[in-house]
Amino acid sequence: MTAQPAQSSPFRLDGKTAVITGAASGIGFAIAQRFSAAGATVRILDIDLAAAEQAARRIPGGRATAHACDVTRQADVISLFQELIRAGRIHVLVNNAGVSHIGNLEGTTEEEFDRVYRVNVKGFYNVLLACVPHMKTGGGGVIVNMASIGATVGLADRFAYSTSKGAVLSMTYSVARDYLAHNIRCNSISPARVHTPFVDGYLARNYPGREKEMFEKLSRTQPIGRMAVPEEVASLALFLCSDEASFITGVDYPIDGGFTHLHG
């Protein structure tokens, strides 16, 4: 009997370098862990350098490095990426750093709106501007932008946040279209509620003593009956950045427990 060739494990990133913004905690850290386990070298970018360094230490095998990055400061972002590029080619970019905001139109001040826009829209633009030219001259790459179901579904009291994520969605389509000829794929992921430290902090601040009750209430807003966990978002990100997804670009992927089409 002829021996069958061993099947390689799918969704690998061996020999590739991935840059992930906002990766010191939550979804970003889960993506860093998952990418590292799939063979990638990961660059953890975060505004909190101490937290980024702690996150890098939690990833085994010395496969992660930590870097301070305020995505709102274009000159600093470009300088950091020049440093990262000197260390080697960047194959994968995950634009994840972002802030949330709760409030409707009338409950959103100009300062709050500007802050959300600076981080969630201009921050993504700054990172893309620093990385895409390198990918363009280096033979291509893969980009995943973290959007939200708020980009396409009306969410109560999320005016500024939903507006910013709508911009991320349009940005994704634009970059995907403009850089097709340069072998750059660009997609976005739109989660519903994900159980991260942000959720726990929000409940502790706004519902002291009622955290468990409110957590269950928020969980039930997803038709599937629970929130996502960061690792589930990371699994989707890994697929989109792997060679198995080489025919996928310019697509937004909801990961929402049925919220978008089964809600109501």
- Is position 88 within any domain? yes
H/E stretch holding 44 reads strand 41-46
Measured at the CA of 34, the angle between CA 130 and CA 85, to 5 degrees, comes to 25
- Mean pLDDT (whole number) for 110-130: 98
Q: What band does 86 get if pLDDT is binned at 50, 70 and 90?
A: very high
- Mean pLDDT (whole number) for 191-215: 90
- Is position 9 within any domain? no
Arithmetic mean of pLDDT over the chain: 94
Write the CA distances from 241 to 6, 9, 118, 122, 235, integer angstroms.
Answer: 23, 15, 26, 23, 10
Pair 170, 156 in one domain: yes
Pair 217, 143 in one domain: no
Pair 220, 112 in one domain: no
Residue 58 sits in a domain of what CATH number? 3.40.50.720
Predicted pLDDT of residue 98: 96
Q: Where are the alpha helices (DSSP H) in the chain?
A: 26-37, 49-57, 74-86, 110-117, 123-138, 159-178, 197-206, 211-220, 230-241, 259-262
- Mean pLDDT (whole number) for 135-162: 96
Pair 206, 116 in one domain: no
Predicted pLDDT of residue 208: 92
- Is position 24 within any domain? yes
What is the number of domains present in the chain?
2
Pair 133, 78 in one domain: yes
Predicted pLDDT of residue 49: 98
Percent of the chain with pLDDT over 70: 96
Q: What band does 5 get if pLDDT is binned at 50, 70 and 90?
A: very low
Cα 149 from Cα 140, distance rounded (Å): 28
- Is position 7 within any domain? no
Pair 105, 148 in one domain: yes
Pair 173, 111 in one domain: yes
- Is position 112 within any domain? yes
Pair 115, 39 in one domain: yes
- Mean pLDDT (whole number) for 88-106: 96
Q: What band does 61 get if pLDDT is binned at 50, 70 and 90?
A: confident
Pair 234, 106 in one domain: yes
Predicted pLDDT of residue 193: 92
Nearest-10 crossing angle of helices 123-138, 74-86: 30
- Mean pLDDT (whole number) for 82-90: 97
Q: Which tokens belong to 227?
A: 């929130």
Pair 103, 203 in one domain: no
- Residue 75: domain span: 17-192+229-259
Place of tokens 């370098």: 17
Pair 157, 246 in one domain: yes
**Which positions are annotated as active-site residues?**
161
Predicted pLDDT of residue 263: 66
Q: What band does 6 get if pLDDT is binned at 50, 70 and 90?
A: very low
Check whether 145 has a pLDDT greater than 90.
yes
Q: Per the confidence metrics, is the pTM higher than 0.85?
A: yes
Pair 69, 113 in one domain: yes
